[in-house]
Structure 1
Amino acid sequence: MQLVKDWIHEHPVADLYTESIRNAIDYVLDGARTGRFDLLSPEVHPGERASVGAKLEYEVLRNFELPKTKPLDTHIADIPVDIKATVGNNWAIPTEAHCQLCLCTQIQLKNNRHRTWLVRAHTSWLYRGKGNKDGKRGLAVDARDNWSIPLYNWTPLPVNPLRYLSEEAASRIFAKKPGQAKRLLMLFRELEGHIIPRNAIVTVGAGNDDPLRRARQARDLAGKEGLMVLCGDWLESREVAAARGIHLRSGEWIALKGESEAGPPEQPAPSENR
């Protein structure tokens, strides 16, 4: 257990889990096809919410550069480790992971936060009974609180900025008309000052062709009304954002009140920064 903990703490564990969870949620919502952006929406089936944990396993393996191995999910420091996650209050520990080391992540969607423990899933710490039909059993709260190792404290989970839209604004932005460019212009107006990730852009353009091209057109329209739209794919945009104390990453957009009508020249960033 100490070896696994030490290996994990050689990494920016909270940051890597934050990225992994956000990617897993985006994958389940599939906004580019469905136009969905809120995992708590009635449009999302409870089974889809539960599937975040399954996708998270693969995101954790990828971001921590861990192999997919048997009998559990991976090996850390040559020790078998299972990866579990829940959007509720407990985990379903499979029979093969009983008495084994588990990384147990709790995602609180309503509070937009997450945390992860390293747990030895002793059978004496699992709820009594046969468990579900697959033999999976939940972990006793006392065992989690008193006999596990917290890997990081509660950490904020980035909120999809589309969730900040009022119901009225969202209905206009996600309407079939007008075209994408004008609807994305509405988005930039409504979310001025918020960093807008690429996924939010393609969600607004769900089912349509090349929403990022339409975003560039919306950027030009915004410039004519004094709204400066920056994109982290462009070096000039990153420099303008940095001058205002904003760290803009590749794929991220932000609309700001600008002094000029035109945005920065559209120059791609060097390939290694794209």
Structure 2
Amino acid sequence: MGRLRLQPLGEVCLGEACRSPDGILRGPEDDAELQLVLGKLREQDLAGGFTTAIRASIDYVLDGARTGRFNLLSTDVHPGERASVGAKLEYEAQRVFKWVKAKPLDIAIAGVPVDLKSTVGDNWAIPTEAHCHLCICTQMRLKDNVHKSWLIRTHTSWLYRGKGNKDGKRGIAVDARHQWGVPLYDWTPLPVNPLTLLTGNQKDQVFDPGRGQEVRLLRLFKYLPMTVIERSVVLTVCANRQDPMRRARAIKEEAAKQGILLLCGKWLSDRAVAKNHGYDLGPGDWVAIPNGSDQVEPPGEGVLF
């Protein structure tokens, strides 16, 4: 799709029901509603909140406890599933930020209607009802492991022409986003699944269907020392098996015999020891510390869930 020649600021928007006063195209600094919403948004940890919401969305789509999947870019994840992360994120963002759903769009901030849009691609599909409204647009670059959000008024004049997709949704012109989209935070790393840090051989051993849960979990902790292993990771390794968390707790003694201090966030005493080593464990988190080890860097970079 070629670049759209944009109407300059000060002209009348093509949208018949434009929310801008007198339908005039204005930059973000002169858009009173945008500035009001922006002020409210900046009271929150947007980068951290969206990271949490994205993590929950990816977990939901991968469904590791049932499928054993842990890499969104894997060939066993259908492109349609990958794209659905964006739709799920819109709901997760409302939950994380406690935004209340409100018509005519997704939410209202300071009394101003705001639509939430997310994509794992290069653009967002703006529905007819959101034309000329404020939108929070989030982009996830899966191959780069980063995400970023913008606040923009999606003027009809700044959307690609034509009928759009089969639902009448149209993308935002690239130049409009660059010139008049307000970044809400810088590019921020996406959450990493520790299972992607395993070598091919290690992964085969951790997911060996011929071995029991305890054997495979012990291998997991041996291969990923000094790395926080969350509950969802344990459930993925033991997909469709009975009571994997109990199995994980059962290997603490065997791990100790093999020179590994296995700490579980379920117990306050373990949390305290982990904290002394520089790890803040949640109730479902684990970390394996080889005996005699001080704080060391975890394995190299992985990829998102």
> Normalization by structure 1: what TM-score?
0.92
1:1-274 aligned at under 5 Å gives the runs 1-259=34-292
Larger radius of gyration: 2
Q: Give 5+ residue unaligned stretches, structure 2.
A: 1-33, 294-305
CA deviation profile, 1:111-156 (whole Å, cap 9, x unmatched): 1111100010011111121110111111111111110111000111
- RMSD value, Cα: 1.3
Instruction: Determine the C-alpha separation between the residues in 2 that align with 1:220 and 1:123.
Output: 64
The AA in structure 1 aligned to 2:102 is T
Q: Give 5+ residue unaligned stretches, structure 1.
A: 261-274
Structure having greater relative contact order (Cα 8 Å, sep ≥ 6): 2
Length, aligned pairs only = 260
Q: 246-255 vs 115-124, which deviates more?
A: 246-255
Instruction: Determine the C-alpha separation between the residues in 2 that align with 1:158 and 1:237.
Output: 24
CA deviation profile, 1:226-246 (whole Å, cap 9, x unmatched): 111112222112211211222
Matched residue of 1:105: which SS?
strand
Q: How far apart are residue 200 of structure 1 and its match?
A: 0.5
Specify the alignment match of 1:271 in structure 2.
Answer: none
Which segments of structure 1 move beyond 4 Å, counting only runs of 4 or more?
A: none
The AA in structure 1 aligned to 2:196 is R
The AA in structure 1 aligned to 2:281 is L
Percentage of matched positions with identical amino acids? 58
Q: How far apart are residue 249 of structure 1 and its match?
A: 2.4
Instruction: Determine the C-alpha separation between the residues in 2 that align with 1:67 and 1:19.
Output: 18
Q: 68-77 vs 18-27, which deviates more?
A: 68-77
Instruction: Determine the C-alpha separation between the residues in 2 that align with 1:199 and 1:180.
Output: 15
Instruction: Determine the C-alpha separation between the residues in 1 that align with 2:227 and 2:142.
Output: 20
> Normalization by structure 2: what TM-score?
0.83
